Chain A
């Protein structure tokens, strides 16, 4: 089942380069829709609360003790669903993104989807490492091939950071082999490694390798600098794939491998990790406030969000872990919506700079509404899904230490500032001169765009008012995300039902922490977002 799920987009990616360019887009969307169907089918076959499921296991490289082993648990199935939903949405929303070379764009997109799915399904550390690194190749070509000016440098920076993390991880993966072969037959299967008796010293070193790689991936504070550059230069759709799907591998890996294989070392490292997480929350938000480039801004908000997720993971309570898992899903949905709506705006205005937008609300009320919902979700407004997860993480943080919770709460206040101020600058106030449509961003060709507009306010206003509102295709693309934001805001129970048993099992059996599962927070005091 899982193999088929991975193979469908992979085969799509391999076939598309040989098809006529005109059909690439429709075939790619069809393939990703098919993958979505398979993902949903897998989810229906998933039985909540009984550990690793849909397992497959074939010996792959015998002399390394490596298996081709797949399986999903509560965490895995949520990430798989997130991936299969986001990919078609991105392709539909980023209709014009790959126009220069549609075949390679859609082939790389599908390859990225396939490899990400493989990452979330892998239950063999070696297999995980292989696909973890392999995702970088499509990501590199997507960032480098389709962004705006300066994308080559951004792509290289992205790749260098990720590969550096990957090689540090390689050292730890090799270390695991050595430890495992000292205790008999070498094996990379997760189930074998979890039972491995790793000495304290070795465990800590190996943990550090894993954690550094995942911290770069997620990203966390000192190693986040690739994030803003990459999201700024890449197209919005590619940024969604990177931030909402690929970066989840970081926090996914922390839960699955750091906590799963090195419970002792994870607890040992908690003070440092929690500090880094809190710094990321506050620093990411502060830096985001100061951004003028809307894509950069959204990228940096994610730094703040990943701080929250990491915090939830490393406070070692079921509430925190379950909240973090929920947060991963919700952040994926919310940030994807933000990026995509921002992408719509950029394609209309021909600029990514907030200071050059303004006064768009009248011309594009629908876009403004979409942006507001996505923005309010990002700042954690009750009634929208990210609130639930943020609430759980904060509860757990206060449980851990009151001052950690207090610092983390400021992140929410700062989030309100960056979201609302961004909204204000883009949609309200007087309109700005419209920069040339071809300037900077890839797709030209929107009417209404011309560099020669007059400088008086009236002339500008008339220009701004000619900007078309969202098209049905654009609305359709983000509609699933919006529905999910509201739906899971009021009924988070389905998600919690999946994440709770996983978190309990992980913490009680692997880490050895006892506490109660979180209840659904009262949703009745919630207000609707829009």
Chain B
């Protein structure tokens, strides 16, 4: 097992090397205001045989959990994904389905919508790819909103921590503070990589990082993001320490192209639903000021990537009309994949939901920039939800991500910090870099919709009432047909 811990200091001026101290096999730090990435690389040989066997069924498996709590990013940890649990995978066998659902239910919790009763391959949906993109990666996608890793931590503690080991439980407990957590496995590699990302705790990190027994290497980096003249590179300076090998932090500096870039302006967005939501909610992306919405580069196009649970769907056919699109400040529905049935109620949809990629309009260079916020809207529709003991069902909709997709001159593949397989990169193919618009700081990155449902507390009479009225109507009409009513005029005339 290898560990790599990287701190990215938020404010380079506040950091001095004196805050670090290396002793024997440990590194102590005090009050370092930084975001932290903790990465475990575990060789397959180190895994229990059962787990190894489970993993081998997959060709690739990327599990990405993102917290709904807002967090700040510091390059190179700039990537964003919709809060919730994402799984991107492809498997060797065609039984992915049952593996997927049993894996998810046993590790993350039984409440995830993933039905093993459904036919194979129906829960997951195909991931969209640009034609020229490499298809070696995951082919399928699954998503569910999951507000915390509570279930995951409890299940894993149960599975791997020896009864006696308190530290094992405590270590896992720290995951609950993560802003995102990735598990990446590929059959072409001999290891599985776990990555957890943490925002700075109040007051910064004051820690004593020890090299535990059984860990081969543990590398700790404390870096600051440095400006550099090349817009396609990000540069870092700071200190690297190999615990147990180095006696003092080693100064380092490097620069690299990357896949995910921060935005230089202070632009951010909020997500909301126009009220009342009814059965046709309209999602609104709001950018505080229209004038900040100028493309960072001439090649850049603004996009939003939506990950919609099955109860919410987009009618792709609405978005073929240019007037309709422009009235919502959209350019195009670039891609849509998953449960797009326009009629079915939620309970007959086996898939987790659907994902969509929109290109968003922004104020053009020729037209006047409107004052105030720039609002983009995306009309959606709700499926019927099961009747229940309430008049409304409350369902979560996690915020979509917003980014500029720009042409990249250089291949950002060499960057050891890049996060990949987030569900939208494949749609763009190679030679594209992403400049992320961060969500506004503040509330949770999830909206809640109250969906009107049939309230079964009141419907005791529906069955009897309906059947009664229909039967009465039928009998009444039979009576009119055969017995009642006026006597036939014709008959009377004939008799006369």
A and B associate = no
